[in-house]
Amino acid sequence: MKLLTTIILSLITVIVLLTGNFYWQDRTQVNHFTSESANGKAVSNDDLIAETAHWPKQAQSDFKQALKDGKTYKIAIVGSKAMGTTKKGWAHDLKQALLHTYEHVSVSLFPYDVNSDQFIASNLYKKVADAQPNLVLFEPFILNDNGAVDPENAHQDLLTAVDSWKDAVTIIQPSYPLYQATNYPEQVSQLKKFVKAHKLVYLDHWEKWPDTNSEALKNDLKFENGEQVGPNAKGNAIWYHYVRDYFIAD
C-alpha cells in the first residue's frame, strides 16, 4: 500500500512539473514573426511593414524581404551640414525615430560641407556606396551649389551619385528655404522637375515652411552676421516632422 501511494505521488509530481514546464515554455517562446518595441510592446512584422506605407514600392518590398531573411535594412542620410551632426539636428532626430520604431534598421549619417562637384570629385559618394545602403535619403547640396555650380552640372552630379547607389532606393529632397532669395527657389524648382523626370522620389518639405518671401520664414532660420546659415531649432522641427511622417506612417 505504501509503495502504491509513493508511486502515485511520484506520478503526480512528474505531471505537475511537466505541465508547469510546458506552460512556461509557451509563455516565453519568441515568435519569429514578432519583435518588441522600445517600450516592450510586441510588434509584428505586418505592423512594421505598415509603418512603411509612404515609402517607394521597391523600398517597401526590400524592407519586407529583409525582415523575412532576418537581415538589417540599411538607411543612409546624405547631405550638407544643414542636416546637423551625429548629436543634433533633424537627421539625428530622424535616425533616433527610425531606430526606435523599426529596430531592424541601421541608420548612417553622411553630412558634408561641400558642393555637388566636390562631392563627386572627392569620391565622397563612394563612401556612401561602401556602406551598402538599401535606401538613401539625399539632399544633393543644392544650396551649396547656388552661385558655385551650374544647375546642369549639379543634376549630372546627382545622377552620378544615384547610379553608384544602384542597389539602393534613393529619395531626393532640397535643402532648407532662404528668406527672399532670388535664384535659389528657381534652382529648387528645376531640381524637382529633374528628379521627377528621372522617376526618382522627391520629398518636398518646403510645403511645410512659410513662403520664401514671408517674414515668418525668418523665425525658422538661424542668422550669423546677417547671413542665413541654416535652420534654427524651429526650422529643424519643421524639417524633421515632415521626413519623420514620411518614413513612419503612424
Tens-digit pLDDT profile for residues 70-112:
999 999 999 999 999 878 999 999 999 999 999 899 999 999 9
The segments of the chain whose pLDDT lies below 50 read 14, 16-36, 38-39
* Residues shown for the chain: 250
Assigned C-alpha cell, 194 = 529633374
184 within 8 A of 143, measured Cβ to Cβ? yes
- pLDDT number for residue 44: 85
- pLDDT number for residue 195: 98
- pLDDT number for residue 243: 98
Tens-digit pLDDT profile for residues 60-69:
999 999 999 9
- pLDDT number for residue 25: 40
Q: What is the pTM of this model?
A: 0.83
User: Position 58: which residue type?
Assistant: Q
- pLDDT number for residue 21: 45
- pLDDT number for residue 85: 86
215 within 8 A of 205, measured Cβ to Cβ? no
Residues 119, 95, 175, 242, CA torsion sign: positive
* Ordered alpha helix ranges (H), the chain: 2-28, 45-51, 57-69, 90-102, 116-121, 124-130, 142-145, 151-164, 183-197, 233-247
